[in-house]
Structure 1
Amino acid sequence: MKSTHLEPFPDPVLEVPDELKRSVIVSSVDYLLNWARKSSVFPLQSGLACCSFEMISAAMARFDLARFGMEALRASPRQADLLIVAGTLTWKMAVPLRRLYDQMAEPRWVISMGVCATSGGPYYQSYSVVPGVNHIMPVDVYVPGCPPRPDALLYGIMQLHDKIRRYSLSGQAAGQE
């Protein structure tokens, strides 16, 4: 087999007849679903401390979350697929937050916003503070800062869009660019 397969396959592996070139789009199901998912992410607002003001200001006209398809921050976990945890998470609040995460539909994503949500911040190793949201649920994107500016949250959302674009129904990363 090694001696007979020396040349790579020609670049267009899929031949499309000329009469269909203007009326047919060839793509994968993963690519189409991920395009729709990243263009219509519905965030669930979980403002636990001062970072929530920066998260809310990211939705205002200056930073405009609407350009990413996030028209409004949701109040119900059944209408959301992105959980933005902004602020200090205490052990007492961890149980309801995990319940909200469990009620969200799959696929779901989590952004940890601010140093308090990421590692406990100045309250690190306090008896009542969770040392990071990743102890309660899986986190997809970390946004550093105390508090992070709204444009840092927008950058985190763009990083999440890249992760959503690579998501695959089979559980493996999709190879589409």
Structure 2
Amino acid sequence: MVSDSKTVAHAAFDSRVEGNVIFTRVDAAINWMRKNSLWPMPMGLACCAIELMATGAARFDISRFGMEVMRFSPRQADVMIVSGTVTYKMALAVKRIWDQMPEPKWCIAMGACASSGGMYRSYAVLQGIDNLIPVDVYISGCPPRPEALIQGLLKLQSQIEGDPAIENQKKEFFEELSS
């Protein structure tokens, strides 16, 4: 709403202007578009992948949150959902796929194994995907239920909403401007 002191809130509607006009910040508009059109890249490596598949099915229906388009091509994905045990043999493939994803990109560690290695304390298992790529949201459980994944996706949406989109996208421009 537009108050009497002429300050503009996050998104505002001014009824005194002809036509329907909404005032907002560019960052807020970009973040609204990003958070409501996330395309997940399912990186199902073990048993948590079954719960990941159930989340995309009709009963839990993540399409109501704007995430229905599961992409198996990293060049078309925004969010990598790492679900299951990450072995050192598979870690290089996960890293390569992460590097192929365009910016901005986010990562969700789904389950105990992806978050911390789980019950596998061996020479063959990576003790958390965060040792390889940055993780934005951790989802606990062995395996976590689809409701937990949906809650993690909603948490990621709220993180994206508060992100300074223009500054993150144009870092070189702002660094050059400040020097």
TM-score (norm 2): 0.85
2:144 to 136, 144, 148: 148
- Aligned twin of 1:105: 102
Residue 129 of structure 1 aligns to a residue in which SS?
coil
Instruction: State the 1:87 CA deviation.
Output: 0.1
- Aligned twin of 1:12: 6
- Aligned twin of 1:77: 74
Task: Describe the shift of the 1:48–1:25 C-alpha distance in structure 2 as closer, same or farther (beyond 3 A).
Answer: same
- Aligned twin of 1:165: 161
- Aligned twin of 1:65: 62
Q: 1:132 and 2:161 equivalent? A: no
1:24 to 9, 21, 25: 21
Residue by residue over 1:105-152, the C-alpha shift from the partner in whole angstroms, topping out at 9 and shown as x without a partner, is 11100000000000000103x101001000000000000000000000
When Rg is computed on C-alpha atoms for both structures, the one with the higher figure is 1
Q: Tell me the C-alpha RMSD between the 2 structures.
A: 1.8
Aligned equivalents of 1:83, 1:89: Cα separation in 2: 14
Q: What count of residue pairs does the alignment treat as equivalent?
A: 161
User: Contact 1:59–1:72 (CA<8 Å) still a contact in 2?
Assistant: no
TM-score (norm 1): 0.85
The unaligned stretches of length 5 or more in structure 1 are 1-9, 172-177
